[in-house]
Amino acid sequence: MNIFWHRRDLRTVDNAGLSAASRDGSVLPIYIYDPDLFKKIGARQQAFWLAGVQALKTIYQERDSDLLVRIGSPADIIPELVDEYDIETVYCNSHYRPGRRTRRQHVERELAASDASLDARTDHVLVDPGRLDSSYTSHSQFHRDWETVPKRGPYDAPDADRLIGISDGKTIAVPDVDISLPPAGPEAAAKRFDRFCNQALFQYNDMRDDLPAAVENPTTSVSRLSPYISGGMIGIRSLWNRTQNLADSVSGRERRNAEKFPYELSWREQNYHLLYYNPDLAVENYNEFPNQMQWREDEDDFNAWTAGETGYPLVDAGMRQLNQEGYIHNRPRQVVASFLSKHLLIDWRRGARYFTKQLIDHDYASNYGNWQWIASTGTDSVDVRIFDPVSQMAKYDDGAAFVRHYVPELSDVPTEEIIEWPTLNHGKRNRLCPEYAEPIVDRNNGYERAQQRFERALGKR
């Protein structure tokens, strides 16, 4: 008998390790709630993942099996289960977060004294980072190599007769959190993906930056699959294969639209590649500056940013979406991250940690990789990348629908004035909407200051 150790892969379909375990013999599926690892993610994501564990348990029970749930350290629990059930092989999937890598090593070390071994499969990514060069300076270079590696299709769910059902009634309650969470688990993920493919894939590229559409059709303007992908409630091969096949089935504009979705998955892959070769991605600049970067330490500015009260309407709308939904659309995600690390010159690590606390789609590789990309400390950093929050709003939310939705105090302010809010004079702002924040930094000065400070750190001044 084998064990399959579920970690961030809360599904039975398209699961590489589970599929391998079941081809090799009968399988006892287990999940270990590891409090030391769990406390590194936010309470909202913890609740979403635990709801995913319950959904997975139900899926096993419907197949006359069960998911054995334990609490504690995998290095203690797995050897006990190996002894108790006379296990031959413990299967799992490879994960890249340093804390997860260490745990797997500890399990391996403990199992060395037994007859059982550990077998970890590549599941989380389409291309094993070890098959590629160890570093790429730009996404286009990464993509060129990544694209040439053949990608396999989804794995089938294991046959029900391979699944062992040991039910001991143990489970972990899903804690209450401060926001309402979307339904968790593989069925909810599959439903969302079906809907997206049927209704939205062929307009994806045209819609993905359309912020009014994000308010009107939140799960079809973009997929909003990220919470499910980060919890492994849907397999990456399923996403890539189906969207690529659908793109191949059409031509012209529809094809260009649909192809963008599997292309976007390559950004995720690049972040995993970065993390694989740079385990300190969350704490160290990927690109070291020749001169020490002088970050500002300003609690008032940081608090205004977290609360969505910076006086920059698109930044505030984005931060309030994050606080209210545990999710933030990719366009404002970039704008708020740039605003913190450039206009406010606050260390990107502080922003990334706040995201970790609030997001339900927090993904260690994508969060820290993207923060570094925005902060000009990551890959593609040929220049100082600064998003202008005013022109970003003029371009992507020109009717102010997104901003009005999340910053309701601006509802009655004319659109042009909302867009130009940070550049209006104080008297005008006060007449238009005294209850909305004054800009905490001057738009042009903030831009200039960031440019100078980064160029100094880069040794260009």
Ligand X SMILES: Cc1cc2nc3c(=O)[nH]c(=O)nc-3n(C[C@H](O)[C@H](O)[C@H](O)COP(=O)(O)OP(=O)(O)OC[C@H]3O[C@@H](n4cnc5c(N)ncnc54)[C@H](O)[C@@H]3O)c2cc1C
User: Is 451 one of the binding residues for ligand X (CB under 6 A)?
Assistant: no
In the set 123, 210, 361, 397, which binds ligand X (CB under 6 A)? 361
In the set 46, 93, 205, 367, which binds ligand X (CB under 6 A)? 367
* Contact pattern from residue 255 through residue 274 relative to ligand X, giving x for each residue in contact according to CB under 6 A and a dash for the rest: ---------xx-xx--x---
Token pair, residue 10, equals 């809360």
Q: CB under 8 Å to 418, separation ≥6 — which residues?
A: 313, 393, 400, 403, 404, 410
User: Is 45 one of the binding residues for ligand X (CB under 6 A)?
Assistant: no
Between residue 372 and residue 411, which ones bind ligand X under the rule CB under 6 A? 374
Give the DSSP letter string of 363-377. Answer: -HHHHHHHHHHHTTS
In the set 142, 155, 371, 402, which binds ligand X (CB under 6 A)? 371
Q: How far is the CB of 456 from ligand X (least distance, A)?
A: 24
Token pair, residue 268, equals 């995720």
Instruction: Count residues near ligand X (CB under 6 A).
Output: 27
User: With DSSP H G I counted as helix, E B as strand and the rest as coil, what are the percentages for the chain, rounded to 5?
Assistant: 55, 5, 40
Q: Tell me if 21 sits within 8 A of 91, measured CB to CB.
A: yes
Q: Which residue has 């070890």 as its token pair?
A: 130
CB nearer ligand X, residue 79 or residue 351: 351
Q: Angle at CA 354, nearest 5°, toward 348 and 360?
A: 125
User: Is 334 one of the binding residues for ligand X (CB under 6 A)?
Assistant: yes
CB nearer ligand X, residue 121 or residue 224: 224
Between residue 191 and residue 210, which ones bind ligand X under the rule CB under 6 A? 208
Q: How far is the CB of 226 from ligand X (least distance, A)?
A: 3
Between residue 312 and residue 331, which ones bind ligand X under the rule CB under 6 A? 330
Q: How far is the CB of 140 from ligand X (least distance, A)?
A: 14
- Segment near ligand X (CB under 6 A), from 93-101, 220-228, 293-301, 428-436? 220-228
SS (H, E, C) 5-23: EECCCCCCCCCHHHHHHHH
Q: How far is the CB of 398 from ligand X (least distance, A)?
A: 20
Q: What Rg, from alpha-carbon coordinates, does the chain have?
A: 23
How many angstroms separate the CA atoms of 4 and 27, rounded? 6
How many angstroms separate the CA atoms of 184 and 195, rounded? 16
Give the CA count within 13 Å in the CB-facing half-sphere of 409.
17
CB nearer ligand X, residue 222 or residue 419: 222
Q: Which residue has 């995720």 as its token pair?
A: 268
CB nearer ligand X, residue 28 or residue 375: 375
Residues that bind ligand X (CB under 6 A): 208, 222-226, 229-230, 264-265, 267-268, 271, 330, 333-334, 337, 355, 359, 361-363, 366-367, 370-371, 374
